[in-house]
Structure 1
Amino acid sequence: MTSSTRTRRFGLTASQPAIEAAANAVIPMVPVTDARIVARSPRATLTTTTRSGAAPTTKRKEPTMDPQVSLWRALASGDPLAREQLLKEHLGLVHHVARQMSKTLAVKADFDELVSSGSIGLMSALEAFDVDRGLAFSTFAAPRIRGAILDELRRQDHVPRSIRRKTREISQAREALGRVLGRSPNDREVADHLGVDLQTLWKWRSDVEGAHHVPLDRSPSETETLAPTPIEVLADEANDSVDDLITREQEVHHLRDAILRLKEQERTVLSLYYFEELKLHEIADILQLTESRVSQIRSKALLKLRTELRPLREEVA
């Protein structure tokens, strides 16, 4: 076989002397009865030659499906082995989320229990994930794993209902008075609004504080310094001139609803940036976008949130 014949066989041309020389050096002569695939590149071909000297027939190698995509396809068809393999492959994500949360939770929890609860979220994410949407599974699953852990911690929370009720009543009273007075009410005003005396109000407050009822997504040190949770940070950025008459509770409630109305990609960027505390370049890697594009998506989402919160400002102005 001449070098030119061998070159044509691998999709090369005579005008490529360097490539031809390389082909001559690394591709051995094969018997005329052999049929083999001789390269892994997209241009690789299968050549079959017969002893009769008939013209060779060439077939292009068909591309193979990504093994991960094949696994997701198998899971969608109900393959239990695919489910088991995907669970094993992504269990590390559960450990990662659990480690992050164990550092910031206000309550002490056993790490293994966090992992156990998070695994439920992982299984739920496996069932709901659509590989054709192009989103990385880790991006899709992390919020669900975190949510499953928080749900279990809340389920185990044994703060008495009476304490919860007192907390809610005091908060609602302060909120209502703030709208009317245009400032934060004092204890006397809150007590009068609730129809109780100061001693009763102080007793309620003591009961609430004694129960150590701290939000699950805020650490004790953060509570002491009134540092904001991620959703509160997002509220500040979405509306950096919110009127003082609007309470934090109102603000966060409206913001949660507004986030649900964002596009999925916008919600994902905000979630990764504010809740998972990733950098823009890290989000860009996950979503396979440029860092500038991620920044644009974040800015656009914040603009939408400001627009959503504007009527709330005008309502109490």
Structure 2
Amino acid sequence: MHRAEARYTLPTSDAELIARHGSLIDRVARKIAARVGMKDSAEELWSVGALGLLEAARRFDGSRDVRFETFAEHRIRGAMLDELRRLDHLPRRLRADTERAQKTRASLARTLGREPEADEVASALGIGVAELAELEQLKQPVLPLLDALAVSDGQESAESRLERQNRSRRLSAAIAQLSARLQLVLQLYYVEELTFREVAKVLEVSEARVYQLHGDAVGKLKELLAE
């Protein structure tokens, strides 16, 4: 564990937490807004990012070998990207980029005779692995993994409860058809809530490889659930 992180104490109030890490939200919001060509939307993303920060604080485990800001940035960015995707606020240029990434991955797979590594796709596109991960995250619809497995709050209708239980059964059956390695990636990322960097340490592979494994798992689940 980082010694500095071992002494890190989360603020006791939400207001203090946001005040302490507001600059992190600002930085991520500006970067994403610029990336999607919506610089005027940084303020809108900020409020979503603040919720991501609060969620990060609730789930942070100081015993792990990761700094809080690293963990929080991952949560903040994910919350902002999910919101953009939910609202369908992606500009034409970014939509074109996501399509190009998808086609490049497919083209490399045909050429290589195997699924390309994330760094191979990124290199072919002339971008970084992190940027590729953002493009692929934007392209994928929200995977209802946690929602399907979530515990009822006791206020849902009988119809909603049956629907949730059916989704949970279908998802569990689909996950069971994945390889043990892909199941582990999903378990670590969605259930244990490790970052991609932490998952890479557990699996003893590169972070780029984890991006690829996650994408493979999500893609196969989408196919299985569509059957």
User: Normalising by structure 1, what TM-score?
Assistant: 0.34
> Which gives a bigger RCO, structure 1 or 2 (Cα 8 Å, sep 6+)?
2
Relative to its length, the structure with more helix (as a share) is: 2
User: Normalising by structure 2, what TM-score?
Assistant: 0.45
